[in-house]
Amino acid sequence: MSIVISNEILAATRMTEAEMKQEIAVMLFQKEKLTLAQASRFALMNSISFQHLLASRQIPVHYDIEDFEQDIKNLREMGRL
């Protein structure tokens, strides 16, 4: 599934497409709809950079056993483990 963000919306928010993706990723992470790994990928950032973004906004990283297990599963499916 692809989401199209119109240039009108980007102009109204004065954001780039990358910034918009980061904002959406942060919001979904805060609401615990995405894991850290999923939000990082959505934001097109590596996990450490995304964690720095969260820290700069004083958003705690909630990374538990389920997140870890999901990350391991995702890595195996991607052939990286």
Mean pLDDT of 13-42: 94
Q: What angle do CA 20, 58, 17 make, to 5 degrees?
A: 10
Mean pLDDT of 2-7: 87
Give the confidence band of 61 by pLDDT, cuts at 50, 70, 90.
Answer: confident
Mean pLDDT of 57-70: 83
Residues in the chain: 81
Distance of alpha carbon 71 from the chain centroid: 13
The structure's pTM equals 0.73
Mean pLDDT of 38-44: 94
Mean pLDDT of 9-21: 95
pLDDT: which is higher, 43 or 69: 43
